[in-house]
Chain A
Amino acid sequence: GAGVSQSPSNKVTEKGKDVELRCDPISGHTALYWYRQSLGQGLEFLIYFQGNSAPDKSGLPSDRFSAERTGGSVSTLTIQRTQQEDSAVYLCASRKGGQGDQPQHFGDGTRLSIL
């Protein structure tokens, strides 16, 4: 596709349930990032994938959060046993190439609400 695609755009679930968020990056982009953005706040880094290298998971807030990227393309972010503090917009971004100076291209995000 032309841009980064995320699904679902909105997700409402009950506390304690597991959720899966999907990101489809721009074709050919080797780097993929997940961020979390609470209302009126900046972007909090969660995890970074680059090609076939081991992901940088240093931003994951707890072991309830995990992510994978299959075939170097689509990525899923999984949150287990959701808590109300997990409510936020989850943004995915992809970047061309191995150089960090290339801009990141963001999807529209998944707005997650935990009841």
Chain B
Amino acid sequence: GQSLEQPSEVTAVEGAIVQINCTYQTSGFYGLSWYQQHDGGAPTFLSYNALDGLEETGRFSSFLSRSDSYGYLLLQELQMKDSASYFCAVRGEGAAGNKLTFGGGTRVLVKP
């Protein structure tokens, strides 16, 4: 089976940097994804790491260490609109890793 752990809530001020950690235990692993979900909205894809290292997309970066079963999402230059829940998800089960198992989500609250 799969299990993922991430902090439940993080609070920071505008302009700050936030790091959301995700540790996982899996029976199979193809990659780690991150999704953002605003209250009442649909989850939207942010990033995907299949290999070790850092992927940068604008203000957001994602890191993966497969040997440590660990990844993180880094949010830089925080803006009010970044207040949302962030989910890590492991692609690991099913044929060719077609299923995603999601963590419980980290609620990020950005204060002025």
Contact = CB atoms under 8 A, between A and B. Distances in A.
B17 to A, nearest CB: 24
A100 B98 contact: yes
Given A99-B96, A100-B30, A100-B98, A106 B104 contact: no
A113 interface: no
A74 B76 CA distance: 39
B87 interface: yes
A20 to B, nearest CB: 20
A31 B98 CA distance: 9
B48 interface: yes
A8 to B, nearest CB: 15
Interface stretch (A11-19, A41-49, A62-70, A77-85): A41-49
A109 interface: yes
B104 A42 contact: yes
B44 A101 contact: no
Given A45-B99, A48-B99, A100 B91 contact: yes
B45 to A, nearest CB: 4
B112 interface: no
B98 A42 contact: no
Interface residues of A, number: 26
A40 B103 CA distance: 12
Contacts of B96: 98-100
Contacts of B44: 106
A106 B42 contact: yes
Contacts of B99: 45, 48, 56, 100
B61 to A, nearest CB: 17
Interface of A: 4, 31, 33, 35, 40-45, 48, 50, 56, 91, 93, 98-101, 103-109
Given A56-B99, A91-B43, A100-B98, 8 more contacts: A31-B98, A43-B87, A45-B102, A98-B98, A101-B91, A103-B33, A105-B45, A108-B41
